[in-house]
Amino acid sequence: MKKGFQVFLAVALVAAMAVPAMAETGINGFYRAKGFVSNFKAFGSGNHVNSSPADVAPANSYVEQRLRLKFSVGEENVKAVAFFEQDMMWGDSSGQSGTRNAGGAIQGDSINIETKNIYLWFKVPDTGTDFTVGLQSVTDPYRGTFMGGADMAGVVSIFKFEPLSFRVGGFTPWERTTNQADDTQLFIAEAKIAPVKDLNVGLNFYFIRDGADALGAASGEINAANNAAQFLGGNQVVAGVTKIYMPGVNFDFNAGVAKVSGFGFVQFGDRVFDSGAPKTKFGGYAADLRVDANAGPVKVFLEGLYTSGDKPGTSDKIEGVVVAEDFKMQSSSSNAYAMDLLILTTNGDDLNTARGLIYSTNNNRVQAGYAMNGVRLGSTLLAAGATMKLGDKMTGKVGAGYLRANELAPAALTGTNLNVSKKMGTEVNANVNYNIMKGLDFGLYGAYAWLGDGYKVSGSPEPDNLYDAHFRLNYAF
């Protein structure tokens, strides 16, 4: 591992020295280590909500780390960017070749550097138009509810026609073959305008075409002709073409004492099967409202998010909102990171052990028997938090959240009762962070979640409530 990184760094430095004198070079990123004691967060897959007869949820204890390096070279109007990542758990394995998130055991020596982004950015001379071409990170204007930090290959352009500014782009999240007919494609068009002072409004339109069966037949109780297509993404089962149209709006308004922001979007379209089976209609929607305010020295927020779910018993309509993760765009790429919850949902600060009672905003995967057969239960998420300075170098934060499904599951899931109850959990969390020096911070984090009735199965012991305690050491450069 050490030798490999030295060679990698040497090549990067030689390349940086070899570029023309006028070119600018830069390296930035972060190193982050987190140490956990938790009965929920863990390495590997499996059931992380305990429902065993013994009713003893084991405590997991481990340290994980991540290094991200972003290299850029270019001039004022053009830059080439490469973004790399290396993850590991202390003591996990060594001498690995091509294994992700490993190499922390004695001797290390693993080939484990991941490519996050590689793209070219350039600005058209004498215009306000720029382009980003290649593998890049993309987030929607809906706080990541549809896609947040999704790494995809494509082209994005940002330009202005006063008083409007635009972002348009096209991506290929999944390519089964080089035949365009069986690709998954995403096209985005966003416009922003400030109709009055302190008010910004975004008008957006997305289009998804899936010919790669990346989405699958998303209904959990689909009719008999198509029941072979029940799965949660990832496997080609039934050939067909899905087209989803997604108009939406987002806004933010600075009211002086508070900032109010929100969004809403709907989805419509259909999936046509090559077999001639009846088509499936789409009708999902989502909405969000958030208030941020200053109460003296304390910064507070209150946010609510609603995503529609698939109704049990329907076979010809998907009423649950479809999100990026459903199209293999990226695991956990549809999120509610702005709520800063640690157990109910995944968190934007997660490294390798990203765990949440739900993995995506449409609630298509549930911890404890989370093979959902493509069913989207939808979610209602409520969160609140307060942050304040505790000194020149220390900051504290407390938060709380509530989670429920919006539809019942069509059948019992292993370790859950979500076909009877929609209640999933309630969380409280807190953290304190200390700035050691410029760029270097140390923090202590804790969270506790009471599981809802959706995890309490009749005739079985109640599962343990969940906790997460960890430290965080972060150096940003």
3-class SS of residue 7: helix
pLDDT value, residue 262: 98
pLDDT value, residue 241: 86
How do 24-38 and 466-476 pair as beta strands? antiparallel
**Candidate from 34-38, 243-247, 313-317 with smallest mean pLDDT:** 313-317
Q: pLDDT of 422-451, one tens digit each? A: 999 999 999 999 999 999 999 999 999 999
Q: What is the mean pLDDT of the chain?
A: 83
- Span 39-67, average pLDDT: 66
pLDDT value, residue 2: 47
pLDDT value, residue 365: 65
pLDDT value, residue 460: 75
3-class SS of residue 338: helix
Cβ(336)–Cβ(345) under 8 Å? yes
pLDDT value, residue 109: 74
pLDDT value, residue 247: 98
The vertex-402 CA angle with 261 and 331, nearest 5°, equals 75
Cβ(135)–Cβ(198) under 8 Å? no
Among 105-119, 168-182, 252-266, the range with the most confident prediction by mean pLDDT is 252-266
pLDDT value, residue 103: 73
Cα–Cα distance for residue pair 426/400, rounded to 1 Å: 8
pLDDT value, residue 312: 77
Cα–Cα distance for residue pair 163/223, rounded to 1 Å: 50
Q: How far apart are the first and last CA of the chain?
A: 22
pLDDT value, residue 474: 98
- Span 377-406, average pLDDT: 97
Q: How many CB atoms lie within 10 A of CB 70?
A: 16
pLDDT of 345 above 90: yes
pLDDT value, residue 325: 79
Q: Which residues contact 152 (CB under 8 A, 6 or more apart)?
A: 135, 136, 138, 171, 172, 173, 186, 329, 330
**In terms of pLDDT, which residue wins out, 106 or 87?**
87
Cis peptide bond upstream of 163, omega within 30: yes
**Candidate from 151-165, 252-266, 293-307, 310-324 with smallest mean pLDDT:** 310-324
Cα–Cα distance for residue pair 75/89, rounded to 1 Å: 38
pLDDT value, residue 1: 45
3-class SS of residue 340: coil
pLDDT value, residue 10: 54
Q: pTM of the full predicted structure?
A: 0.85
Tokens of 297: 């020295």
Q: pLDDT of 250-278, one tens digit each? A: 999 999 899 999 999 999 999 887 777 78
3-class SS of residue 225: helix
pLDDT of 300 above 90: yes
pLDDT value, residue 98: 64
pLDDT value, residue 57: 57
How do 280-282 and 317-318 pair as beta strands? parallel
pLDDT of 234 above 70: no
Cα–Cα distance for residue pair 188/179, rounded to 1 Å: 22
Residue 355 confidence class, pLDDT cut points 50, 70, 90: confident
**In terms of pLDDT, which residue wins out, 45 or 93?**
93
pLDDT value, residue 81: 97
The vertex-335 CA angle with 289 and 413, nearest 5°, equals 110
pLDDT value, residue 222: 29
- Span 129-139, average pLDDT: 96
Cα–Cα distance for residue pair 365/51, rounded to 1 Å: 17
pLDDT of 419 above 90: no
Q: Is residue 77 classed exposed, middle or buried when 0-12, 13-18 and 19+ CB atoms within 10 A define those classes?
A: exposed
Residue showing tokens 């490469």? 82
Residue 461 confidence class, pLDDT cut points 50, 70, 90: confident
Tokens of 213: 């069966």
pLDDT value, residue 228: 31
